[in-house]
Every structure is written in structure tokens, then in C-alpha cells.
């Protein structure tokens, strides 16, 4: 469905299971996966037999964020692909907020950076007791512009959003629930089955009612997007060529 072997889509009755499938790189989102994400949600929305979506990861990670080797080549060193990548990032956030079907995240392991944004953009977020969230944009010299700055202040206090986005500290599963970034913690061995069970419960509800309820609730997020997402993405783009960001990437690649 996605044309990308690293994002798998399978059907389980009326539920579509999306699996981030790049386990050798901790499900880090490479350029191919990033582009596939821009097609994924529109394609799923056209699936007339789908009623709900479950998203999870293969192996021990949900997603470690972006692939930094490719990031250096396409976002730091090349202004053309940098602009295209940030257009894609903007579209992914918008498409997930506008997506009509309910989406359940079964966060089976660490969700960092872009992976964290994808998880929190879902409608119901389950976390394995081994999982954690971390938005490490600021520590790597970037503005947290592609999701966290939009959604986190809607889910927790503004002060807490500032604390965790600026410091980039890990948020363990129990703390994520306490803050409002996740719904519940699930034993690791049960995370995917529990996610699938909830997705099927959502799929069994009257479709018009559940979809329009989601659409109504997501008006809060859509209003937040106006201005905030555009500024955040633009500010993040401006950071790509700073010496601090390049130094952060070099430090990571040479460790």
C-alpha cells in the first residue's frame, strides 16, 4: 500500500495495522519512509473497508526518530531537499490530524523525535512498560517544530511542555500517562494485542459517530496548527545550517 518495505500495512478485518519496519536501525525514519508517510494517510482514508488503524513498531523500538546520516545529506547540506523534507513534515502532521478514522498507537519501545510526534498525533496512545518518549530537537540544535510545540501544550500544562521540549528529558511510560501524553501503560508482552483489541472496539462503533466525534475534538488541534505549525516548521528549517546543529550531528555520528 505504501510502496515502502519499511512501512508495512496489513488488514485484520476492519482494522489496518501499520508497522514501522526498520528494526536494524531502531525503526529510524529514513527518507523513503518519510516520503511514504506523506502518502500513507490519504491512502488509508480511501480504504472503504477500513474502520480503524493501529500503528506500532517492529522489534524493540517504536521509532528512534530520523536517520541522521541521511538527515545530514538531505536537510543540512542540500537546501532543495531540505525544503521538500519540511513540506513533507508539515503535510504529515496535517494529514494525521485530519485523518478521519480513529488511530491507536501501540508504543512498543522508545519513541524519540519524529517517532514521538507520530505517536502523540494518534487518538489513543498505549505505551509498553519498557517505552519512553523523548523530544530531542532542542538538544540537537533544532526548534521542536514538527509536532511537539503544536500538540503538547494541548495535552499538558504549558510549563510542563516547555520543560520537556527544552530539556529533552526522557518521559517514562507512567509519567507520560500522568502528563497526558498517553492513555495507559500496558505490559510489554501484551502491548500489540491490547492495541489491536482497542482498535477493533473502535472499528465496531457506528462509523459516522466515531469519525465525526474525532473530527470535532480535533478542531482544537486544527486551530493550534494555524500559525503555530507554520512558525515552528519555518524556525526549525532555519536551524539546519547552524554550527550547533552540525556539531550535534557530528557528535552523534562519531560516538
**Across residues 5-32, what is the average pLDDT?**
95
Residue 140 CA to its chain's centroid (Å): 18
Sign of CA dihedral 120, 122, 125, 131: negative
Sign of CA dihedral 92, 142, 183, 29: positive
What is the rounded CA–CA span in Å between residue 94 and residue 83? Answer: 17
Please tell me the predicted confidence (pLDDT) of residue 117.
93
Please, are residues 174 and 182 in contact by the beta-carbon 8 Å criterion? no
Residue 207 has pLDDT above 90, yes or no: yes
**What is the spatial order of strands in the sheet that 171-172 belongs to?**
111-112, 132-134, 171-172
Q: Express as a percent the part of the chain with pLDDT over 90.
A: 65
| Domain definitions of the chain by residue range | 7-192+201-207
Residue 71 has pLDDT above 70, yes or no: no
For domain 7-192+201-207, the question of CATH label 3.10.100.10 is answered with no
The model scores a pTM over 0.75: yes
Angle at 136 between CA 240 and CA 69, to 5 degrees: 55
pLDDT per position as a tens digit, 112-169: 999 999 999 999 999 999 999 999 889 888 888 877 888 999 999 999 999 999 999 9
Amino acid at each position: 500500500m505504501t510502496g515502502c518495505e519499511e512501512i508495512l500495512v496489513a488488514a485484520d478485518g476492519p482494522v489496518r495495522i501499520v508497522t514501522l519496519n526498520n528494526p536494524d536501525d531502531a525503526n529510524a525514519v529514513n527518507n523513503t519512509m518519510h516520503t511514504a508517510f506523506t502518502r500513507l494517510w490519504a491512502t488509508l482514508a480511501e480504504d472503504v473497508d477500513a474502520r480503524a488503524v493501529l500503528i506500532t513498531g517492529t522489534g524493540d523500538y517504536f521509532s528512534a526518530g530520523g536517520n541522521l546520516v541521511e538527515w545530514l545529506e538531505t536537510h543540512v547540506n542540500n537546501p532543495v531537499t531540505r525544503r521538500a523534507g519540511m513540506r513533507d513534515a508539515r503535510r504529515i502532521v496535517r494529514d494525521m490530524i485530519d485523518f478521519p478514522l480513529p488511530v491507536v498507537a501501540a508504543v512498543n519501545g522508545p519513541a524519540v523525535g519524529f517517532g514521538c510526534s507520530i505517536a502523540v498525533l494518534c487518538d489513543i496512545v498505549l505505551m509498553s512498560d519498557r517505552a519512553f518518549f523523548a523530544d530531542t530537537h532542542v538538544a540537537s540544535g533544532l526548534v521542536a517544530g514538527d509536532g511537539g510545540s503544536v500538540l503538547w501544550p494541548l495535552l499538558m500544562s504549558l510549563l510542563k511542555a516547555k520543560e520537556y521540549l527544552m530539556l529533552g528529558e526522557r518521559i517514562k511510560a507512567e509519567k507520560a500517562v500522568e502528563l497526558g501524553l498517553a492513555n495507559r501503560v500496558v505490559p510489554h508482552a501484551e502491548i500489540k494485542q491490547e492495541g489491536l483489541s482497542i482498535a477493533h472496539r473502535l472499528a465496531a462503533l457506528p462509523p459516522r459517530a466515531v469519525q465525526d466525534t474525532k473530527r470535532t475534538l480535533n478542531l482544537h488541534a486544527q486551530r493550534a496548527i494555524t500559525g503555530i505549525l507554520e512558525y515552528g516548521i519555518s524556525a526549525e528549517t532555519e536551524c539546519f545550517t547552524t554550527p550547533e546543529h552540525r556539531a550535534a550531528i557530528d557528535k552523534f555520528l562519531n560516538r
